[in-house]
Structure 1
Amino acid sequence: MSINRRRSRVASVVAGIGIVAVLVAGCSRGGAEPDGDGGAAAASPGITDTTITLGMTTPLSGGTAGPGTCTVAGLKAYFGNVNAAGGIEFGDGKTRTVEIKALDDEYDPQKAKANYDQLKGSVFAMTAGLGTPTNRAWREAAIADEVPQVLIQTGDPLFSNKEESPWQLGFVPVYQNEGEAFGELLAGAGGEHKVAILSQNDDYGEGYVEGFKSAIEGADNIEIVKELTYEATDTSVDAQLTELAASGADVLFNAMSITPLVISSLQKVQEIGWLPSLFLPSNTSSPTAILEPGGAAALPAVYTVSFAKTPQSPAFAEDEDVVTFLSDLAEYADYPEAPAFPHCMWSYMIGATLEQVFTKMTEPTREDFMAQLRTISDFEAPLMLPGTSVDTTEDDQPAVSTVQVIKYNGKGYEAVESWDE
């Protein structure tokens, strides 16, 4: 089931590819103006004639370390391959290799802001980092500093508002879009359904619920019987699940972002004898890291959404994109196993998208980078599912705005067109 909305819609450690100290060519913050002799524009920080350095702040430890580590691994895998082949020929005719500086924020907004402050003077752009609260923590500073904060892994619509965030662009579909996909699937189902909702008490959770409710509005076969929230800092949601189970709901919309809590919630519903069908966000629906430990195969059905091929799926075992990706992941990111989280695939796609932008840049400036970033249309990045693509040309939209509903089959996921318990 493919969903593509045209309104606002709804994924300190230093790691890198040959991390080195970067000599900054030019000292202006953006330097788009020609020099006094009418020559080329002065280079922004983080780019020389031979290298470009990208910065990341992302969780590499703590409860979201699994997905966070993937954000770095995918980017390292993609650019490791590119660098080994000699680098990227930019639009200005110069060939550059890509370096990555990644710092651990532990999914803590204050640490994320400190990481940004540490990196902003030595990197050309910030990219691929995971988290809504952590990316929000330094958004205003990035705008003031005119530092690109782009293709980040948050579904917060704020980052795709060009007028309010001229130096930002999200990568993954906005949370409302995912919520809508779930709602549309259920609205098209036969029979009566009672829904219980457990969501994170922030913009992440609110976005999912907003999208879901908008899609089921007017659907006579669906009733939301109970809604509860939890805090991202909570260590247990047992009390909420017990209360939700008492509602008699046959569907649980579990809009959670914390990996250990998702696993424990799957275990808890079975412990108390409640077996609802389940909707999970794309970033917390890993078959191997979440569903298997949580015993999800015991539930009637588990649905999520995706725009990336799943390496564990038999359907993609010999897929050329997947084979290359896994090889790059093992060789250049020291990640020899199939990734447990989709963020590895997403950041690999981000690398491919950035390469598209670099080849268009005729000036070594952040301004030209942002201008060229907004010109990518219908780009089928490696690992994208058929029918999905990267499009950065739409106002108020992230780079990816199309998702497919998929269903857990006990090992991996398969595409679905309709509700099927």
Structure 2
Amino acid sequence: MQRTREARLIATFLAAALFASVSAARQPAQAAGVTDTEIRIGNIMPYTGPLAAFASIGRAEAAYFDMINERGGINGRKIRFISRDDSSNPRTAVEHTRELVEQERVHLMFGSFGTPGNLATRAYLNERQIPQLFVASGDEEWAHPKQFPWTMGWQPTFRAEGRIYANYIQASYPDRKIAVLWQNDQFGRDLFRGLQEGLGVTANMIVADIAIEADMSIDTQVDILKSSGAEVLVLNCAPPISARAIRRAAELGWHPVLLLVNAAASIANALRPAGLQNAVGVVSTSFLKDANDATWKEDPAIKDWLAFMDRYYPDGDKDDGYAIFGYAAAETLAQVLTQCGDNLSRENIMLQAESLRNYQSSIVLPGIAINTGPSDFRPIEQMRLVQFDGTAWQPIGDVIESAFATVRDDN
């Protein structure tokens, strides 16, 4: 009888231990990076290498979370933002992402930069059901909620942006020959494809296009594009190359209509190095306010932005559009985490990320709202055409969203 009781006690103990071990095995996936006082967030950024100009995105995000933490955190929890440098190398991005998840035990990945690195880590993060939120890339790959339910983009897509430039050329310069200098990667190909699609039957007006690498000299290429007789030049490449191309065109006395992709439209990293006088008249797209635009001189959000830069990111450049980008993306994540309340399970974080309804970020242009849904993983789908006046980007035309209608794919 005694032995039977002991056997039952032992069996009960073993069952309880087994249940506890199974529960423990399940719980870290949800609560690994969350305590009563902290939320751990991982990030990958090119702090070095050919795309280091974009590093201010990560620095601004880190500064934003410093500000949030100084104000008490989000629902009583401080943000521990752990950012790693991948030098735009996908293999390094994978290594760092694994370290962040398995060693630093981050609860989610946020705002990591670039298409190749995020593509390389997407399967790993989705298999482990770890949010890969607000990817800093305009690739269409971040909007496949059925196949990759833990990955969501943030900014408008490159392909849709290309269509916007096509629409602008057709409306304003329908008879002019077009040249394109495009970056030989997925970013460059997507935008170029959107441009060709938008031009449709008039795509034969593209009389020259040259693919280049992110770190090459491009004087010869600009010379070739000029000799094509093109009167419109689309610069679809990183900020340093865009700066050199604008400067080289001016040196050659070539003054085409210049269209500069949003990803390179930083006054600090592209236009100023190109020579502001050479960049007057350049057309681009935007969805964020320009702190230099007199329109926003008395805007409370821009005043807050300038105060933020002075206090939390004093080494940053207020003309750097990538810093504004990082600030706005971090603000969006803060909104999602605030909506989570005390339920910070990874499932609820994704639920709140796909439940943004007409969210108005303080730094996003008026008329542009952030919206998501279970089958809509493209938070920002609107942009405005802007033109550089030598000091700031000035809006031209209305908010554009129709160019996005034909490129949606929710699979």
For residues 191 and 57 of structure 1, do their structure 2 counterparts lie closer, same or farther at Cα, with a shift above 3 Å needed?
closer
Q: In the alignment, is the contact (CA less than 8 A) between 1:44 and 1:365 conserved in 2?
A: yes
> How many equivalent residue pairs?
373
Matched, 1:346 2:325: yes
Provide the rounded CA distance (Å) in 1 between the counterparts of 2:293 and 2:219: 32
Computing the radius of gyration over CA atoms, which structure comes out larger, 1 or 2?
Answer: 2
User: Does residue 225 of structure 1 match 2:204?
Assistant: no
Relative to structure 1, the CA distance from residue 336 to residue 212 in structure 2 (aligned partners, 3 Å threshold; closer, same or farther) is closer
Q: How has the CA–CA distance of structure 1 residues 27 and 269 changed in structure 2, closer, same or farther, with 3 Å as cutoff?
A: farther
Offset of residue 397 of structure 1: 4.3
Work out which of the residue numbers 78, 87, 99 in structure 1 matches 2:64: 78
1:302 corresponds to? 282
1:277–1:300 CA contact under 8 A, matched in 2: no
Structure 1 contact 377–392 (Cα < 8 Å) conserved: yes
Aligned to 2:54: 67
Deviates more, 1:407-416 or 1:138-147: 138-147
1:28–1:44 contact (8 Å) kept in structure 2:
no
1:29 Cα deviation after fit: 6.3
Q: What is the deviation of 1:110?
A: 1.5
Deviates more, 1:111-120 or 1:269-278: 269-278
Correspondence for 2:149: 166
Q: Which amino acid aligns with 1:104?
A: D
Which of the two has greater helix per residue? 2
Separation in 1 of the partners of 2:211 and 2:96?
30
Question: Is this contact kept in 2: 1:73–1:335, CA < 8 A?
Answer: no
Give me the whole-angstrom Cα distance separating, in 2, the residues matched to 1:398 and 1:149.
13
What amino acid is aligned across from residue 34 of structure 2 in structure 1? I
C-alpha contact 1:349 1:381 (8 A) present in aligned 2: yes
Q: 2:39 aligns with which of 28, 33, 52?
A: 52
Alpha-carbon deviation of 1:183? 1.1
Give yes or no for contact 2:46–2:87 (8 Å, CA) kept in 1: yes
1:199 Cα deviation after fit: 1.0
Secondary structure at the counterpart of residue 205 of structure 2: strand
TM-score scaled by length of structure 1 = 0.83
Secondary structure of the corresponding residue to residue 147 of structure 2 = coil
* Equivalent position of 1:413 in the other structure: 393
Superposed, 1:284-363 pairs within 5 Å as 284-295=264-275, 297-298=277-278, 301-335=281-315, 337-340=317-320, 342-361=321-340, 362-363=342-343
Percent of aligned pairs with the same residue? 27
Deviation track 1:342-375 (CA, whole Å, cap 9, x = no partner) reads 2212221222222222223253311221122110
Give TM-score scaled by structure 2 length. Answer: 0.85
* SS of corresponding position for 1:248: coil
Superimposed CA distance per residue, residues 79-112 of structure 1 (whole angstroms, 9 cap, x where no aligned partner): 22222221222xxxxx211110011111111211
Structure 1 residues 191 and 392 mapped into 2: Cα distance closer, same or farther (>3 Å)? closer
The one-letter code of the counterpart of 1:67 is F
- Unpaired runs of at least 5, structure 2: 1-22, 399-411
Task: Give ranges in structure 1 of 5+ residues lacking alignment.
Answer: 1-25, 32-41, 90-94
1:131–1:384 Cα change, 3 Å? same
SS at match of 1:167: coil
Separation (CA, whole Å) in 2 of partners of 1:371 and 1:334? 35
With over 3 angstroms needed to count, the CA separation of the structure-2 counterparts of 1:288 and 1:145, relative to structure 1, is same
Residue 8 of structure 2: aligned partner: none
Give the partner amino acid of 2:46: P
1:256-313 deviations in whole A, cap 9, x for unaligned? 02x3222211122223332211111112111232112213533673111111111122
Q: Which residue of 1 aligns with 2:182?
A: 199
User: For residues 285 and 29 of structure 1, do their structure 2 counterparts lie closer, same or farther at Cα, with a shift above 3 Å needed?
Assistant: farther
Change in Cα spacing, 1:343 to 1:27, as seen in structure 2 (3 Å) is: farther
Q: Tell me: CA distance 1:373–1:268, structure 2 relative to 1, closer, same or farther (3 Å).
A: same
1:357 and 1:413 map into 2 onto residues whose CA distance is 30
Q: 1:54, CA displacement in angstroms?
A: 0.8
Q: Give the structure, 1 or 2, with the largest relative contact order (CA under 8 Å, sep 6 or more).
A: 1
- 1:180-195 alignment runs, 5 A limit: 180-189=163-172, 192-195=175-178
Q: CA deviation at 1:417?
A: 1.9
Tell me the SS of whatever aligns to 1:169: coil
Of the structure 1 ranges 118-127 and 280-289, higher mean CA displacement relative to structure 2 is found in 280-289
Which one-letter code corresponds to 2:227 in the other structure?
A
Counterpart Cα distance in 2 of 1:373 and 1:30 = 21
Deviations along 1:401-421, one digit per CA (max 9) or x if unpaired, are 111110011111100129xxx
Match of 2:9 in 1: none
